[in-house]
Amino acid sequence: VSNFKIIESTLREGEQFANAFFDTETKIKIARALDDFGVDYIELTSPAASEQSRKDCEAIAKLGLRAKTLTHVRCNMSDAKMAVETGVDGVDVVIGTSSHLMEHSHGKDITYIKNTAIEVIEYVKSCGKEIRFSSEDSFRSDLVDLLTIYSAVDKIGVDRVGIADTVGCATPRQVYDLVRTLRGVVSCDIETHFHNDTGCAIANAYCALEAGATHIDTSVIGIGERNGITPLGGLMARMIVADRDYVKGKYKLEKLKEIEDLVAEAVEVNVPFNNPITGFCAFTHKAGIHAKAILNNPSTYEIITPSDFGMSRYVHFASRLTGWNAIKSRAEQLDLRMTEAQIKAVTVKIKALADVRPLAIDDADSIIRNFHFNLSADKE
Ligand code: HCA
Ligand code: CU
């Protein structure tokens, strides 16, 4: 599963998030931040969407980013021409292939889709641009239809084919099967795109890589249509556990929080409390048993090293679940010298109060300080 590439779609899929409105300046900030982070591609809203979208595409294509720029358009000649004219490095085309979309959305049949796709791909290639062909709603499309189209576009030299779980219905096992099958049919790269309606977007991305996919679509904190897609940070969490050296070597992980904050602020949401890596409690250890083990050796209850992302671990020491090891560590942080027996005694006090009401850090600290103060007072 190493060697995957990220197609970062905050500036395309992410713009489909309910709250998203990115002005040009914000788009440029986000594009530069993602580029600095090290994503491979930055995907931009179609120039056919609006006049400003077209101008923004041109502006970002001109920035001279290290990441390749892409724009995402419908699979037809007029969109493809507009896309090429923006100056981006590559064009992602998409068309619905499920019976739902063929009947109720664009009304075209598979032969028509195949012929149009071939015309569009040949045109984009002739302009010297990278080209990806993807089928919307792939998991509710007929497998024979899908494989027919993908093998046809593979033969004429498309750079990538894409599978999209547009409605978020796919399970990891279905993803594995479809990507595996496709891997046996095409020789080009395989990109995958997973919506998160049932919470499977990260797992599905991982399974796609296991089955031979090469590219994963992400957005920052997962923003997109409905409840969004595979989040960049969540994918990093999943992948650093799989291959720490690759992930650490390739991406500036310590920038993740900054990028998430930038995007969260731009779309006026908070980063969720349980967000992988950057959620406020992602590295907080609370129960006495956990705290003791973590203080001894973090690998006991931490699969991800917080410092890889510039984050820090936090050992909770102000609850009814607290054990004396956490209090000992806190006393050391406060520079208070106490014997083990004393630590155990103050732990009893803290737990007794925490059984009555929630304690703030300050409450627990005061108890420890007072206890320590009284110890020295006793001595005099
Ligand atoms: C959408 C389009 C898309 C496209 C994915 C792709 C999807 O419905 O808004 O180009 O691979 O989820 O199908 O985002
Ligand atoms: Cu999508």
Tell me: pLDDT of 105 over 90.
no
Q: 94 exposed, middle or buried (CB, 10 Å; 0-12, 13-18, 19+)?
A: buried
Tell me if 225 CB under 6 Å of ligand 1: yes
- Position 50 scores a pLDDT of 98
Per-residue model confidence as pLDDT tens digits over 42-93: 999 999 999 999 999 999 999 999 999 999 999 999 999 999 999 999 999 9
Tell me: pLDDT of 141 over 80.
yes
Tell me if 89 CB under 6 Å of ligand 1: no
Which among 73, 94, 178, 219 is the best mutation to test ligand 1's pocket, defined by most ligand atoms within 8 Å of the CB? 94
Q: Residue 26 C-alpha to ligand 1 middle, in angstroms? A: 23
Per-residue model confidence as pLDDT tens digits over 319-330: 999 999 999 999
Tell me: pLDDT of 378 over 80.
no
| 227 pLDDT tier (thresholds 50, 70, 90) | very high
Q: Residue 194 C-alpha to ligand 2 middle, in angstroms? A: 7
Determine the average pLDDT of the residues in 210-236.
Answer: 98
Tell me: pLDDT of 221 over 80.
yes
Tell me if 164 CB under 6 Å of ligand 1: yes
Q: Write out the residues surrounding ion ligand 2, Cβ under 5 A.
A: 13
| Among 90, 56, 98, 97, CA closest to 73 | 90
For the entire predicted model, the pTM comes to 0.95
Tell me if 13 CB under 6 Å of ligand 1: yes
Give the ligand 1 atom nearest the CA of 13.
Answer: 14
Catalytic residues: 290
- Position 377 scores a pLDDT of 81
Give the ligand 1 atom nearest the CA of 191.
Answer: 11
Q: Residue 233 C-alpha to ligand 2 middle, in angstroms? A: 17
Tell me if 162 CB under 6 Å of ligand 1: yes
Per-residue model confidence as pLDDT tens digits over 179-193: 999 999 999 999 999
- Position 350 scores a pLDDT of 97
Per-residue model confidence as pLDDT tens digits over 147-157: 999 999 999 99
Tell me if 130 CB under 6 Å of ligand 1: no
User: Token digits for 227?
Assistant: 């409840």
Nearest residue by C-alpha to atom 5 in ligand 1: 164
Q: Residue 68 C-alpha to ligand 2 middle, in angstroms? A: 20
| Identity at 268, one-letter amino acid code | E
- Position 31 scores a pLDDT of 98
Tell me: pLDDT of 380 over 70.
no
Per-residue model confidence as pLDDT tens digits over 280-316: 999 999 999 999 999 999 999 999 999 999 999 999 9
Tell me: pLDDT of 136 over 80.
yes
ipTM of predicted assembly, 2 dp: 0.99
Q: Residue 18 C-alpha to ligand 1 middle, in angstroms? A: 16
Nearest residue by C-alpha to atom 4 in ligand 1: 136
Q: C-alpha 134: how far from its chain's center?
A: 20
Which among 136, 140, 227 is the best mutation to test ligand 1's pocket, defined by most ligand atoms within 8 Å of the CB? 136
